[in-house]
Amino acid sequence: MSDNWYTDEHATLGDRLAAAREAAGLNQSALAQRLGVRVKTLRDWENDVSEPRANRLQMVAALLGVSLRWLLTGVGQDVTPPDANVASADPKLRDALSELRTVRADMLRMAEQVGRLEKSLRVQIAAEMQNVEMQNHDG
Protein backbone atom coordinates (compact mmCIF):
# COMPACT_ATOMS: atom_id res chain seq x y z
CA MET A 1 0.00 0.00 0.00
CA SER A 2 1.22 3.48 -0.76
CA ASP A 3 1.31 5.71 2.30
CA ASN A 4 1.15 8.85 0.19
CA TRP A 5 -1.90 8.19 -2.00
CA TYR A 6 -3.55 11.45 -0.91
CA THR A 7 -0.50 13.75 -0.85
CA ASP A 8 -0.33 16.78 -3.16
CA GLU A 9 1.90 14.80 -5.51
CA HIS A 10 -0.86 12.29 -6.19
CA ALA A 11 -4.16 13.92 -5.23
CA THR A 12 -5.86 17.28 -5.12
CA LEU A 13 -7.96 18.93 -2.45
CA GLY A 14 -10.99 17.82 -4.44
CA ASP A 15 -9.80 14.21 -4.47
CA ARG A 16 -9.31 14.24 -0.71
CA LEU A 17 -12.67 15.92 -0.13
CA ALA A 18 -14.47 13.29 -2.24
CA ALA A 19 -12.58 10.44 -0.52
CA ALA A 20 -13.39 11.76 2.95
CA ARG A 21 -17.06 12.24 2.00
CA GLU A 22 -17.26 8.68 0.66
CA ALA A 23 -15.46 7.29 3.72
CA ALA A 24 -18.02 9.09 5.90
CA GLY A 25 -20.78 7.36 3.94
CA LEU A 26 -22.27 10.58 2.58
CA ASN A 27 -23.37 11.42 -0.93
CA GLN A 28 -22.82 14.88 -2.38
CA SER A 29 -26.38 15.97 -1.66
CA ALA A 30 -26.20 15.01 2.03
CA LEU A 31 -22.87 16.74 2.60
CA ALA A 32 -23.93 19.85 0.69
CA GLN A 33 -27.05 20.08 2.84
CA ARG A 34 -25.04 19.75 6.07
CA LEU A 35 -22.63 22.43 4.88
CA GLY A 36 -25.39 24.75 3.70
CA VAL A 37 -24.09 24.90 0.13
CA ARG A 38 -25.52 23.88 -3.22
CA VAL A 39 -24.65 20.44 -4.61
CA LYS A 40 -23.06 22.21 -7.60
CA THR A 41 -20.75 24.10 -5.24
CA LEU A 42 -19.64 20.87 -3.56
CA ARG A 43 -19.24 19.19 -6.95
CA ASP A 44 -17.05 22.11 -8.08
CA TRP A 45 -14.89 21.70 -4.98
CA GLU A 46 -14.51 17.97 -5.60
CA ASN A 47 -13.70 18.56 -9.27
CA ASP A 48 -11.17 21.29 -8.37
CA VAL A 49 -13.12 23.92 -10.29
CA SER A 50 -13.23 26.08 -7.16
CA GLU A 51 -12.15 25.83 -3.53
CA PRO A 52 -14.00 26.38 -0.28
CA ARG A 53 -13.10 29.34 1.91
CA ALA A 54 -11.03 28.63 5.01
CA ASN A 55 -13.96 28.71 7.44
CA ARG A 56 -15.98 26.33 5.25
CA LEU A 57 -12.96 24.05 4.90
CA GLN A 58 -12.72 23.76 8.69
CA MET A 59 -16.41 22.85 8.78
CA VAL A 60 -15.88 20.22 6.06
CA ALA A 61 -13.01 18.64 8.00
CA ALA A 62 -15.06 18.52 11.20
CA LEU A 63 -18.15 17.07 9.51
CA LEU A 64 -16.13 14.39 7.73
CA GLY A 65 -13.99 13.51 10.74
CA VAL A 66 -10.66 14.31 9.13
CA SER A 67 -7.97 16.77 10.12
CA LEU A 68 -7.70 20.08 8.31
CA ARG A 69 -4.04 19.24 7.68
CA TRP A 70 -4.97 16.01 5.93
CA LEU A 71 -7.67 17.69 3.88
CA LEU A 72 -5.20 20.35 2.69
CA THR A 73 -2.09 18.21 2.21
CA GLY A 74 -3.00 14.54 2.42
CA VAL A 75 -0.43 14.08 5.18
CA GLY A 76 -1.64 11.74 7.91
CA GLN A 77 -3.82 8.64 8.05
CA ASP A 78 -7.32 10.10 8.13
CA VAL A 79 -8.78 8.10 5.21
CA THR A 80 -7.79 4.63 4.06
CA PRO A 81 -6.38 4.81 0.53
CA PRO A 82 -8.59 3.21 -2.10
CA ASP A 83 -5.81 0.82 -3.02
CA ALA A 84 -5.46 -0.64 0.48
CA ASN A 85 -6.73 -3.98 -0.84
CA VAL A 86 -4.33 -3.85 -3.78
CA ALA A 87 -1.33 -4.18 -1.44
CA SER A 88 -1.49 -7.95 -1.61
CA ALA A 89 -2.61 -8.03 -5.23
CA ASP A 90 -0.63 -8.94 -8.29
CA PRO A 91 2.56 -6.83 -8.59
CA LYS A 92 1.50 -5.92 -12.13
CA LEU A 93 -1.64 -4.29 -10.73
CA ARG A 94 0.38 -2.34 -8.17
CA ASP A 95 2.83 -1.23 -10.87
CA ALA A 96 0.01 -0.14 -13.18
CA LEU A 97 -1.65 1.78 -10.35
CA SER A 98 1.64 3.44 -9.46
CA GLU A 99 2.26 4.40 -13.08
CA LEU A 100 -1.28 5.76 -13.36
CA ARG A 101 -0.71 7.95 -10.28
CA THR A 102 2.55 9.25 -11.73
CA VAL A 103 0.94 10.08 -15.08
CA ARG A 104 -1.97 11.79 -13.30
CA ALA A 105 0.41 13.90 -11.20
CA ASP A 106 2.35 14.83 -14.35
CA MET A 107 -0.88 15.82 -16.09
CA LEU A 108 -1.91 18.02 -13.15
CA ARG A 109 1.48 19.74 -13.19
CA MET A 110 1.21 20.27 -16.95
CA ALA A 111 -2.33 21.64 -16.62
CA GLU A 112 -1.06 24.12 -14.04
CA GLN A 113 1.77 25.09 -16.38
CA VAL A 114 -0.71 25.59 -19.24
CA GLY A 115 -2.78 27.83 -16.98
CA ARG A 116 0.25 29.93 -16.07
CA LEU A 117 1.26 30.24 -19.73
CA GLU A 118 -2.27 31.22 -20.76
CA LYS A 119 -2.35 33.90 -18.08
CA SER A 120 1.05 35.22 -19.14
CA LEU A 121 -0.08 35.31 -22.75
CA ARG A 122 -3.28 37.18 -21.84
CA VAL A 123 -1.26 39.77 -19.93
CA GLN A 124 1.17 40.20 -22.83
CA ILE A 125 -1.65 40.50 -25.37
CA ALA A 126 -3.45 43.07 -23.21
CA ALA A 127 -0.24 45.11 -22.90
CA GLU A 128 0.33 44.90 -26.65
CA MET A 129 -3.26 45.98 -27.35
CA GLN A 130 -2.83 48.92 -24.98
CA ASN A 131 0.39 49.95 -26.79
CA VAL A 132 -1.37 49.77 -30.15
CA GLU A 133 -4.28 51.85 -28.84
CA MET A 134 -1.89 54.45 -27.44
CA GLN A 135 -0.01 54.64 -30.75
CA ASN A 136 -3.27 55.00 -32.67
CA HIS A 137 -4.47 57.66 -30.26
CA ASP A 138 -1.19 59.61 -30.49
CA GLY A 139 -0.94 59.24 -34.25
Query: Does residue 100 sit in the same domain as residue 67?
Result: no
Task: Read off the pLDDT band of 88 (50, 70, 90).
Answer: low
DSSP 44-96: HHHTTSS---HHHHHHHHHHHT--HHHHHH--SSSS--TTGGGTTS-HHHHHH
Q: Which domain holds residue 28?
A: 1-86
Tell whether 68 and 102 lie within a shared domain: no
Same domain as 105, residue 81: no
What are the tens digits of pLDDT across the range 9-37? 567 889 889 988 988 889 999 999 999 99
For residues 16 and 67, state if they share a domain: yes
pLDDT digits (tens, 9 = 90+) for 39-71: 999 999 999 899 999 888 889 988 888 888 888
CATH of residue 35's domain is 1.10.260.40
| Chosen domain end from 41, 60, 86 | 86
pTM of the model: 0.53
Q: Are residues 94 and 82 in the same domain?
A: no
Same domain, 82 and 30: yes
